[in-house]
Structure 1
Amino acid sequence: MRRPHLIAGLLVVAFAAAAVWGERPSPADGRIEYRPGAWFSPDFPLHGTVKLLTPPVAEMGSRHRIRIEYTVGDLGAKPGESIEVWKHFTSDVEELQDTDASEPAFFGVETSAAGVEIDTVIYPNDVQRNEHPVFPYRKCAGLIVRNGELKQGDKVYFDIGGAKGVRMQFYAENLFNLRIAFTQPEEKKVLGYGGDAYMKIIGGPLAKLKVKAPAVVGQREPFDVEVVPTDAWNSLAKDYQNLELVMESDAVGSSELRFDPDLLHYVAENVVATGEGVARITVRTADGRVQGVSNPIWISRTPGQRIYFGDLHQHTYLSDGRGVPIELYLLARQIGLLDFGALTPHQTGLQATGPYLAIEQKYVKDFWPQLIEGVKTMKGWKGFTPILGYEYSVGTQAGGHHNVIYADDEAPTTMDLEPESWRAPVGEMMKILRRTGKRAMVIPHIGGGPPDWQHETDPRLERLFEIASVHGVFEESFQKHLESGQRLGATASADNHTVSWGYANPGLIYTMTNPLTGVYADSNDREDLWASMLDRRTYGVTGNSRMLLDFSVNGEPMGGDLPRYKADSAKIRAKVSGEAPILRIDLLKNNQVVHSLHPGRDSGSSLVRIAWSDNDYQRRANTSMARGEIRADAGRLVLKRYLNQDNSFESVSQDGARVVFYNATTSNDRDGVLVDISQAQGDALTLRRDDPLWGVHEVRIPLAELRRNGSFRTSAPAPAEVKDGYIEKMGVPLQFTVEAELVSPAAPLDVEYDFEQREAMQPGDYYYLRVEQLDLVQAWSSPVWAN
């Protein structure tokens, strides 16, 4: 049965602002037609009607009862067949239960069909995905017909949450949908769809102030400070308006913060820095209840290039992500505070789900005009620079996943030139890309198909590497690419599949929050950004941090090539300003650490930072949640802080004399704690992790060695049955690593680093810098090479 396609009217909204930008209307003043991932086109055959019976707006992280009425259409359900409720695969809505209606997250089903007997079924959150035809959705729950048959006109009532409600996802979303699907469970086959129930998820109460200032300013040069009121998980707070905010700093003059209805946050204009050095700006609510501190600001009399922060890897509803282009660009600027960004939907087939139910417009190239329009519409709005792009996704043997970005507003995709080559090896794709005649760049990254450093490449196109994303940290792969002779600069971007671009809560399956790419450029104009990215004047940083990092070898800045006459020795200069204290700076030559600086280490301190992770690439957070504890032989550990909590379902707490944790620390996602060991007794601390795949690791941290050296590090191999083909291909041991370091309560936020290695550099040698903050945020400079 074909019927008119419905999009709930409440989901097409007009923003209140009426500002005019240049001769064009503000995109924030326009109307947006929101669409879910794997959306149903108007002529898609839906079977029946879906009606939401409960309020359509829910607060993130709150408990909400959802009741859905489904009227069966021409596709009924016979014995053994199922009608299921699905959510997007990244949504961390609480797992349901069907055993106790008096408890939260209850799932119940009723039907008007006389004589039909049904059973309920629950699907857990702790699987990477259900069978393939369900992706990019995830089964929540459903009914299975035991006796009788559901026929056209019968009504089915789904109760999701019960009287106490289901806990909603921990991030805001303009269009949250629950999909009604018909399946044959035994055959793992999707039979058809009933439609979607639409809701809106809003942010929670005000918990934080996100403060952004320019990274580099001139002395007495006016600049803006922007403040986003957020909830605990970085979505726009529900009570974001009518706030009285106060700005404080010893280094800059104060200015009034006023609400900008286009940006949906507060802006102080014409702020001026009076002196040189490093500044940070504190903003608090007038009652002092909530405050935030800006990124560091480098102030100089004659500043050179500025640093701009952005994200070159965001998915959309066009493939397995969420959000339409204008919506995502607005959120990136309004809430993510990004300077630039690239939308990168997969080039592969877009389908409602399942190989037999593909919608008519199958590939990103069919929607390319929509992406181009988004770039043109957002170009320059409130200083934001959009970048046209897509993700070229093939398996590792064909070269692996690479993002393709363009310098211009318009450009053809490789599929436009070669429609039959949409799965060509990466080397062949680059040849086609050159034929477009447009300036383009190709960025390898770890995703569904990790990149192969041995593929045919084109150094004119392949200039950068994505070293970190919501998937984890992949420095080993970066190093293999460098070792192969490729000269790639460092970037870090989200690979985000929710709408929270630039501020991503990783949702259910990913292990880390939104990384960012820093670019040294003359301006935020795309031409200047492009020139700098081509020159590899970039660095990557995790944790949604705007850490400032400068690095040079013999005066050659990051990304550069030293001529032979300047390579007799290596004089390293670096400057780092963090959003948290700087704990370690590592200088690497040809992938090996040749010198380290530990500005935050204090062997006499009683504060110890303990961090742990494994390097099993591409495991997902929901499949790798491990329980564990940290304890002393005798006495007591006192938990001071949980470090690097990425997911809402992760936790660390004090449990008597010990500290207990429940978190995901895979794909080099290092979580940790800051603990006080002044009451610890005995010879050692013990960290025990019980991982669902890796089993139990128990590591002893000798207190005498820790106090003597100020640090301790050890690794243990993965169990023999745990395999990772990509890790093996790189020749890297698969291991679980624990680090402990005694840290000073007065560890510095700003560090200058000078070091000289006197031995002559050989052609092809390269240096790069790795920096780590106390909170486990890391940054990597692009290398400098010797020619």
Structure 2
Amino acid sequence: MRESPFAAIWKKKEAHFGQFYDWERPLYFNSQLEPRLTFGRPEWFPQVESEVIQAHTKAALFDQSTLGKIRIEGPDAVPRPSVPASSIQRIEIGFEVGPLGIDEGGLIFVEPDPFWYWSSAQAMDPNDRGYTTISARKGGVELRPSSLGAAFSVSGRALAPGERLDIVYGAGPNGARVDRYAERGSEILIGVDADGNGTRAWLPESVQMDITAREGVAIFSHGPAELAPGEPLELTIAIVDAVGNRARWPASSTDASGIASGRFRLRTLSGSTTALVSASEVVTVRAAQDASFRIAVGEAGREGTIRLGIEGEGPLEAFDAFVHPIVVRRSATRLVWADLHGHTQMSDGSGTPEEYFAYARDIARLDVIALTDHDHWGPRPLATRPDRLDRIHAAASRFHAPERFVTIPGYEWTSWLHGHRHVLSFDEEATLFSAFDARTDRPDELWNALRGRPALTFAHHTAGEPIATNWIFAPDPELEPLAEIASVHGMSEAADAPVPVHGALSGFFVRDALMRGDRLGFVGSGDSHDGHPGLAQIAAGQSGLAGLFTEALDRPELLAAMKRRHTFATNGIRPWLEVTIDEAMMGGTLPTAKQPERQEGRQERPDHLLRIRYEATAPIDRIDPIRSGRVAAVDGEDRLSLDLERRIPPLGPGEFHYVRIVEQDGGVAWSSPIFAARQAHSPVARETDPPR
């Protein structure tokens, strides 16, 4: 029996880069290349790309109807059972051998959803979770377990067409734990290498079950980031379990028809500088037991900031929440909240595309959402499964509602040489250009393929795990004006960020790229894999969101706002932030430096006026003005609101300036840098004055 083509491919990679993770995929790679050096592919790399594509294609095109049939069995078996998240289960599976049989030496694989918290299937320790067995109903054959996972070799004789096998996942006394994240259609895959030639194919059918949320333990309430005076305010109230799954309202609040009733009291909180008009102090609302409540609570009054608290009454008296600050102002632009990066069961995440978009709209109350499943990752890569890509695009189209909820089609370009980038398409023509296609396996080739299209790319976790960005390829100024600096992986802004990305490497942070002359604005996004866009921090402890100032809530205007870099990043909190230097907004460029003026016989330096306006979600710990890599600190004085003006020395050619604000509860926000005029990729000119 020859070696699997995948194993051979990764052995070649190991020889060049070192050890990788199991089941035919790398866990982490970073070449640690110095910025701006000449880069060439290892000579074997095109062959690796070709073999990976061919191996996946061979498996995909294999006549899968010959592999066999599976079904859940047992005395209480149902076609697709529902089980509580994180519960311990024993799952019995019936397998019928396909019409071509399985040769002696052939292999059968059992793979529960590898992402994220299922017990790994294993066949070596009966007392450990995930213990898996396979037995034939006819004698003369043995299914011998492998020491790696749950792979079983056919020994003694071939398996005949139609022969029945019994598979038990969780066969030991400790069973198997299912995922902690709720989703429909969670899978246990069965794979077959019928002749033992090293090519495994997954059965088109899988064992599927619905993972349901646990008891709701917290509510979240969200509204718009800002309103115009006189505009009505509608809040969303949603209930989640301990890891953020969309939960059901308590039975005590639900009638026999499954409709939940909620009674909530609104409180105006300290720090509010304006009030609602015609506000209701107590609101009663009804919705399906698994839906969020939407409540109209009044109209915005004069300009200022609204701060509200929500308290449940009656059966919901144990629940309360704070609403993020809502700014009331008249402006040509408005702040909207976006999560531009996340994954579902279409690659390495939980939940369906439909559940992902519904959660973003109904639970997290986002304005903008992108789904960016991997092009080449997991057992069924998007690059080889156009049907899965079509499903993502269909879901994005179905949920897209301009001026209310905008979806952006996308995917993740998953290069283990150059780093990961998510690609967003601001129209319906969302062509996938794979990192495993020799024509688009480098960043410059990807950008060339996208040029002329309404699309953007975003480097993320640039300085660390699971892989850092190869900055040899300078970000394309047209197609990559922004970088993701905060996500569940940590912060890639700089080494002095409050929570640097895991496995951080010096020189690979986004600030390092700015120091080399690249011009990048900042966004945060979740990179969620739990099916909870906009609220990934509940389970992960940290996340990311993008604040976008746009003239309209539609794809063309959002693209224009991102190209202007009129954005800011957070680690999941929802403050309101605006920074200007003179007339330049976040992400903008200052005009050519003014000549010094002479007053009373001496030359005056033409200082800039820096203004920071910030509405916090918790008391401010400190404000960090950051100028061309040098960090100052200003005491936040426990304020909730900040309207700060100060004079700063003029920025020299190529310099940049941004602000990082740290709240006492760990929330962080970053303004996009404002840049001084310079020639493209000129080195940063350093001021001799201390940062101010």
Structure 2 length-normalised TM? 0.72
Correspondent of 1:429 among 443, 446, 453? 446
Give yes or no for contact 2:143–2:153 (8 Å, CA) kept in 1.
yes
Give yes or no for contact 1:349–1:362 (8 Å, CA) kept in 2.
no
Structure 1 residue 779: Cα displacement? 2.3
Correspondence for 1:525: 554
Amino acid paired to 2:118: V
Structure 1 residue 118: Cα displacement? 4.7
Q: Distance in 1 between matches of 2:183 and 2:429?
A: 29
Q: Distance in 2 between matches of 1:217 and 1:386?
A: 21
Structure 1 residue 443: Cα displacement? 1.8
What pairs up with 1:376-775 in 2 under 5 angstroms? 376-380=397-401, 383-396=404-417, 400-410=419-429, 422-434=439-451, 437-446=452-461, 450-476=468-494, 477-504=509-536, 513-542=542-571, 544-565=572-593, 568-599=606-637, 747-748=638-639, 750-752=640-642, 754=644, 756=646, 758-775=648-665
Correspondence for 1:296: 324
Structure 1 residue 179: Cα displacement? 0.7
Give yes or no for contact 1:504–1:514 (8 Å, CA) kept in 2.
yes
More displaced 10-residue stretch of structure 1: 226-235 or 160-169: 160-169
Structure 1 residue 47: Cα displacement? 1.6
Correspondence for 2:177: 167
Amino acid paired to 1:767: H
Correspondent of 2:372 among 328, 331, 344? 344
Structure 1 residue 238: Cα displacement? 3.5
Give yes or no for contact 1:113–1:150 (8 Å, CA) kept in 2.
no
Give yes or no for contact 1:413–1:433 (8 Å, CA) kept in 2.
no
Determine helix, strand or coil for the equivalent of 1:205. Answer: coil
Give yes or no for contact 1:181–1:195 (8 Å, CA) kept in 2.
no
Structure 1 residue 340: Cα displacement? 0.8
Give yes or no for contact 1:471–1:512 (8 Å, CA) kept in 2.
no
Give yes or no for contact 2:372–2:411 (8 Å, CA) kept in 1.
yes
Correspondence for 2:260: 242
Amino acid paired to 1:362: T
Correspondence for 2:23: none
Determine helix, strand or coil for the equivalent of 1:533. Answer: helix
Q: Percent identity?
A: 25
Deviations 1:370-429 (A, max 9, x none): 5554444322178110123333344545xx4333323334465668xx997642532233
More displaced 10-residue stretch of structure 1: 99-108 or 557-566: 99-108
Correspondent of 1:267 among 291, 294, 315? 294
Amino acid paired to 2:446: M
Specify whether residues 238 and 585 from structure 1 end up closer, same or farther in structure 2 by C-alpha distance, changes over 3 A only.
Answer: same
Give yes or no for contact 2:223–2:365 (8 Å, CA) kept in 1.
no
Give yes or no for contact 1:390–1:404 (8 Å, CA) kept in 2.
yes
Structure 1 residue 204: Cα displacement? 1.0
Give yes or no for contact 1:75–1:192 (8 Å, CA) kept in 2.
no
Correspondence for 2:223: 213
Amino acid paired to 1:58: V
Q: Distance in 1 between matches of 2:648 and 2:616?
A: 29
Structure 1 residue 224: Cα displacement? 0.6
Amino acid paired to 1:384: F
Give yes or no for contact 1:257–1:266 (8 Å, CA) kept in 2.
no
Give yes or no for contact 2:248–2:290 (8 Å, CA) kept in 1.
no
Amino acid paired to 1:546: R
Give yes or no for contact 1:46–1:194 (8 Å, CA) kept in 2.
no
Structure 1 residue 309: Cα displacement? 1.1
Determine helix, strand or coil for the equivalent of 1:314. Answer: coil
Q: Distance in 2 between matches of 1:372 and 1:565?
A: 47
Deviations 1:66-124 (A, max 9, x none): 2222223356667776533212332212356778878866545544232444555676x
Q: Distance in 2 between matches of 1:597 and 1:409?
A: 47
1:93 aligns with 2:118: yes
Determine helix, strand or coil for the equivalent of 1:244. Answer: strand
Specify whether residues 589 and 505 from structure 1 end up closer, same or farther in structure 2 by C-alpha distance, changes over 3 A only.
Answer: closer
Specify whether residues 263 and 219 from structure 1 end up closer, same or farther in structure 2 by C-alpha distance, changes over 3 A only.
Answer: farther
Amino acid paired to 2:188: L
Correspondence for 2:14: none
Deviations 1:441-497 (A, max 9, x none): 222223765333331543122211011223332124211221221211101123334
Specify whether residues 284 and 467 from structure 1 end up closer, same or farther in structure 2 by C-alpha distance, changes over 3 A only.
Answer: same
Structure 1 residue 592: Cα displacement? 2.0
Amino acid paired to 1:521: T
Amino acid paired to 1:401: H
Determine helix, strand or coil for the equivalent of 2:411. Answer: strand
Give yes or no for contact 2:402–2:554 (8 Å, CA) kept in 1.
no
Q: Distance in 2 between matches of 1:412 and 1:469?
A: 25
Correspondence for 1:258: 285
Give yes or no for contact 1:469–1:495 (8 Å, CA) kept in 2.
yes
Structure 1 residue 299: Cα displacement? 3.6
Correspondence for 1:84: 109
Give yes or no for contact 1:118–1:145 (8 Å, CA) kept in 2.
yes
Q: Distance in 2 between matches of 1:75 and 1:581?
A: 68
Amino acid paired to 1:431: N
Give yes or no for contact 1:215–1:295 (8 Å, CA) kept in 2.
no
Give yes or no for contact 1:263–1:333 (8 Å, CA) kept in 2.
no
Determine helix, strand or coil for the equivalent of 1:313. Answer: coil
Q: Distance in 1 between matches of 2:493 and 2:518?
A: 15
Give yes or no for contact 1:469–1:512 (8 Å, CA) kept in 2.
no
In structure 2, list runs of 5 or more residues that go unmatched. Answer: 1-55, 251-258, 269-274, 495-508, 595-604, 678-692
Q: Distance in 1 between matches of 2:155 and 2:541?
A: 42
Correspondence for 2:189: 179
Determine helix, strand or coil for the equivalent of 2:670. Answer: strand
Q: Distance in 2 between matches of 1:586 and 1:428?
A: 37
Give yes or no for contact 2:325–2:616 (8 Å, CA) kept in 1.
no
Correspondence for 1:780: 670
- Which structure dedicates a bigger proportion of its chain to strand? 1
Give yes or no for contact 1:571–1:754 (8 Å, CA) kept in 2.
no
Q: Distance in 2 between matches of 1:500 and 1:271?
A: 29
Amino acid paired to 1:452: N
Specify whether residues 298 and 324 from structure 1 end up closer, same or farther in structure 2 by C-alpha distance, changes over 3 A only.
Answer: closer
Q: Distance in 2 between matches of 1:530 and 1:95?
A: 42
Specify whether residues 341 and 150 from structure 1 end up closer, same or farther in structure 2 by C-alpha distance, changes over 3 A only.
Answer: same
Q: Distance in 2 between matches of 1:753 and 1:307?
A: 17
Determine helix, strand or coil for the equivalent of 1:564. Answer: coil
Give yes or no for contact 1:351–1:362 (8 Å, CA) kept in 2.
no
Q: Distance in 2 between matches of 1:775 and 1:562?
A: 34
1:50 aligns with 2:70: yes
Determine helix, strand or coil for the equivalent of 2:440. Answer: coil
Correspondence for 1:312: 340
Amino acid paired to 1:440: A
Deviations 1:233-264 (A, max 9, x none): 11111446514231312254236353455992
Aligned length: 570
Q: Distance in 1 between matches of 2:672 and 2:636?
A: 21
Specify whether residues 766 and 394 from structure 1 end up closer, same or farther in structure 2 by C-alpha distance, changes over 3 A only.
Answer: same
Give yes or no for contact 2:376–2:436 (8 Å, CA) kept in 1.
no
Correspondence for 2:86: 61
Q: Distance in 1 between matches of 2:377 and 2:663?
A: 41
Q: Distance in 2 between matches of 1:100 and 1:433?
A: 50
Correspondent of 2:238 among 215, 228, 233? 228
Deviations 1:614-642 (A, max 9, x none): xxxxxxxxxxxxxxxxxxxxxxxxxxxxx
Give yes or no for contact 1:279–1:298 (8 Å, CA) kept in 2.
yes
Give yes or no for contact 2:237–2:363 (8 Å, CA) kept in 1.
no
Amino acid paired to 1:439: P
Correspondence for 1:707: none
Give yes or no for contact 1:249–1:281 (8 Å, CA) kept in 2.
yes
